[in-house]
């Protein structure tokens, strides 16, 4: 592809994630900087068309940001763009992505790619056969804290990695006496909601790209808060899981334990943290920070419940420096995807990666429902 601008159809930008992270902090930020810088120093600008179901909201967004192109008919607008992006409800994504593949468009999408593993694998196969560039958002790999963690792994800091322990979540208000900070569909299984379907896809690509592919899952998914209130103030039954407790066995032999909850109160430095323990050192990485404790600097605590602890354990860890400027992770991956489209190569975080995430999510739900460990069959 040899052109100075690329048309992008953004479907689902009236939603929280579609607007904040993808339109405002990615596409509009890229436009403001003059486009995506290519390896030869030239730039390719993005020309967005906003798409969604609510014409009034789309017009408001367009007017607010000086855009002129918007539509409630995404299928018809496909002919005017090079890239189709999807941030709709999960239940609406599959048919839209399928239509974009049939139209021969490059596709970038939020996760999960589809509601089921067979559907995701079918979309991945169709995209591969169509010869398009296809990718799914893997934003957490671009977080400063995880980029620092990657630096430690690549530098051999940990020695042999033994385990990973993750804590994610916060209290999402029920919506009665205080407005909920997440959309109500997140808590309705019939609308594609649930923390397993949402977060296990994230955890899979984090684990896969940093530590190794998941080979088995043991999980318990629960609905701690059975009644919530929607955007209109109406009470509804929460039919989707709002917390999940998972053990992930990796092909590398590493064991990962990750708790995910929208029904917990935060007593940690960041909303997500991963502790990695290895024979030579340990690290705790969050959204932005990463702290380490090397084997040579590890203290020797002694268990004694009869005396109060006198050690300030957190003070015994060392901060990993930035050593670089970190841009918004969503924006960074957008730029990488656009470069891949221009170069005519496949995106490293493709639909097959998305399918593996769904495989892990489905294994987690099966494990919870049947009370057993679920082994995964290798996918592409």
CB of 202 closer than 8 Å to CB of 295: no
pLDDT at 380: 66
116 and 217 both lie in a single domain: no
14 and 156 both lie in a single domain: no
pLDDT at 310: 86
**25: containing domain:** 5-139+329-350
Q: Report percent pLDDT > 70 for the chain.
A: 99
Instruction: Return the number of other C-beta atoms located less than 10 Å from residue 207's C-beta.
Output: 22
In a domain, 376, yes or no: no
In a domain, 377, yes or no: no
pTM above threshold 0.85 = yes
In a domain, 228, yes or no: yes
CATH of the domain at 222: 3.30.360.10
The mean pLDDT value for 69-76 works out to 96
113 and 261 both lie in a single domain: no
245 and 345 both lie in a single domain: no
153 and 110 both lie in a single domain: no
CATH of the domain at 78: 3.40.50.720
278 and 202 both lie in a single domain: yes
Using CA atoms in the order 48, 54, 59, 65, what is the torsion angle rounded to 10 degrees?
-50
pLDDT at 2: 58
Report the candidate in 134, 47, 142, 79 with the shortest Cα–Cα distance to residue 337: 134
In a domain, 167, yes or no: yes
Q: Dump pLDDT digits (tens) for 17-62.
A: 999 999 999 999 999 999 999 999 999 999 999 999 999 999 999 9
Q: Dump pLDDT digits (tens) for 284-301.
A: 999 999 999 999 999 998
pLDDT at 192: 87
pLDDT at 249: 98
65 and 89 both lie in a single domain: yes
Give the model's confidence band at 90: pLDDT under 50 very low, under 70 low, under 90 confident, else very high. confident
- Which whole-number Å values give the CA distances from 230 to 131, 182, 190, 226, 341, in the listed order? 42, 10, 15, 13, 39
Residue 64 has pLDDT above 90, yes or no: yes
In a domain, 380, yes or no: no
In a domain, 378, yes or no: no
Contacts of 233 (CB under 8 A, 6+ apart): 175
Distance, C-alpha 326 to centroid of its chain: 17
In a domain, 179, yes or no: yes
126 and 166 both lie in a single domain: no
306 and 214 both lie in a single domain: yes
The mean pLDDT value for 86-95 works out to 92
178 and 306 both lie in a single domain: yes
Report the candidate in 60, 54, 108 with the shortest Cα–Cα distance to residue 81: 108
Q: What does the mean pLDDT of the chain come to? A: 96
Q: How many domains is the chain partitioned into structurally?
A: 2
Q: Report percent pLDDT > 90 for the chain.
A: 94
342 and 200 both lie in a single domain: no
The mean pLDDT value for 119-140 works out to 97
pLDDT at 1: 60
45 and 96 both lie in a single domain: yes
Q: Dump pLDDT digits (tens) for 166-206.
A: 999 999 999 999 999 999 999 999 988 999 999 999 999 99
Q: Dump pLDDT digits (tens) for 306-345.
A: 999 888 999 999 999 999 999 999 999 999 999 999 999 9
């Amino acid at each position: 592809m040899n052109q100075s601008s690329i048309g992008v159809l953004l479907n689902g930008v009236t939603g929280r994630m579609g607007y904040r992270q993808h339109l405002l902090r990615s596409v509009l930020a890229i436009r403001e900087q003059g486009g995506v810088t290519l390896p030869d120093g030239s730039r390719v600008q993005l020309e967005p068309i906003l798409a969604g179901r609510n014409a009034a909201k789309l017009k408001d967004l367009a007017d607010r940001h000086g855009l002129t192109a918007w539509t409630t008919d995404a299928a018809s607008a496909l002919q005017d763009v090079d890239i189709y992006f999807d941030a709709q409800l999960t239940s609406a994504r599959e048919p839209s992505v399928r239509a974009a593949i049939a139209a021969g468009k490059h596709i970038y999408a939020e996760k999960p790619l589809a509601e089921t593993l067979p559907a995701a694998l079918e979309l991945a196969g169709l995209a591969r056969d169509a010869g398009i560039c296809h990718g799914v958002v893997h934003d957490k790999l671009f977080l400063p804290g995880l980029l620092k963690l990657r630096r430690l792994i690549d530098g051999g800091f940990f020695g042999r990695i033994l385990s990973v322990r993750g804590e994610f979540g916060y209290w999402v208000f029920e919506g009665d006496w205080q407005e909920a900070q997440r959309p109500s569909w997140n808590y309705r299984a019939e609308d594609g909601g649930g923390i397993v379907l949402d977060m296990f896809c994230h955890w899979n690509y984090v684990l896969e790209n940093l530590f190794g592919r998941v080979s088995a899952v043991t999980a318990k998914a629960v609905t701690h808060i059975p009644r919530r209130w929607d955007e209109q103030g109406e009470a509804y039954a929460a039919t989707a899981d709002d917390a999940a407790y998972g053990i992930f066995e990796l092909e590398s032999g590493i064991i990962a334990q990750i708790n995910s909850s929208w029904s917990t109160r935060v007593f940690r430095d960041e909303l997500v943290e991963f502790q990695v323990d290895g024979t030579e050192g340990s690290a705790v990485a969050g959204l932005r920070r990463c702290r380490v404790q090397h084997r040579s600097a590890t203290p020797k605590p002694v268990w004694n419940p009869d005396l109060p602890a006198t050690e300030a354990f957190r003070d015994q860890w060392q901060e990993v420096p930035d050593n670089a400027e970190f841009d918004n992770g969503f924006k960074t991956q957008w730029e990488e995807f656009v470069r891949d489209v221009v170069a005519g190569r496949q995106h490293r975080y493709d639909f097959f990666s998305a399918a593996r995430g769904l495989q892990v999510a489905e294994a987690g739900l099966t494990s919870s429902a049947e009370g057993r460990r679920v082994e995964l069959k290798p996918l592409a």
